[in-house]
Structure 1
Amino acid sequence: MKTDINNFEDIVWLVDSFYSKVQSDDLIGPVFDAVIDDWEPHLEKMYKFWNAALFGIAGFKGNPFARHEPLSLGKAHFDRWLVLFHKTIDEKYAGAMAALAKKKAELMAEMFLNRIQNMKGGTDTVIV
């Protein structure tokens, strides 16, 4: 039986499971592997990010967009990211917080893609 995302332990499971999928994905895995040498600090930062995004717990510091802006990303990358994120949530969670996590991920992906496209002249694929 699925439960909702209720606490920090759930966030750790979500982040770890999601990024395990990301690392083995043939489209977005290489993008992450090109910029992340040590996954542990990234995962720790993502625990804090999602804890802040879902539960309002202070602790996340950073500018997520600034880390993504220089990468060669297009719509297909963000679409895959969302598919993997939704799939991970759906494996274990259902409820209001699970739905909120999906919605926040969708809004973030849309905002990042729009900002990247606007910075690069409105094209679908970023030219670096």
Structure 2
Amino acid sequence: MNAARHDVPEPDAFTRPYWEAAAGGRLLIRRCAACGRAHHYPREFCPYCWSEDVTWEEASGRAVLYTWSTVHRNDLPPFGERTPYVAAVVDLAEGPRMMTEIVHCADGDLRAGMALRVAYRDGKPVFEPGD
């Protein structure tokens, strides 16, 4: 019997383009044609003006670190095997905030506002130091 995994997305018809793009090394966000604002996580409507006139757009992959927490204990599979890891919120260059994980960076080197770039682990976006 396999233990339930809590790190594997469950794509549906709407989010499938996002996950397929990520598997190919591209980060997608949604942009509203009515108000012009970008948002993330993917939704079928704009969370700012409620318009349904939103489309997929490829993000630059650039971000800055907003906040983070180093996780030392997590009982949900497979996160316990990854501890410690850095859970974070980043500000994408296009405007939206995104929850993610920071990789390839020592905990003591993290600074609010530091430049990051998207990387991919098993088809899922994570972020690492970058310019």
TM-score (norm. length: structure 1) = 0.21
Structure with more contact order per residue of length (Cα contacts < 8 Å, sep ≥ 6)? 1
Greater per-residue helix proportion: 1
TM-score (norm. length: structure 2) = 0.21
Greater per-residue strand proportion: 2
Larger Rg: 2
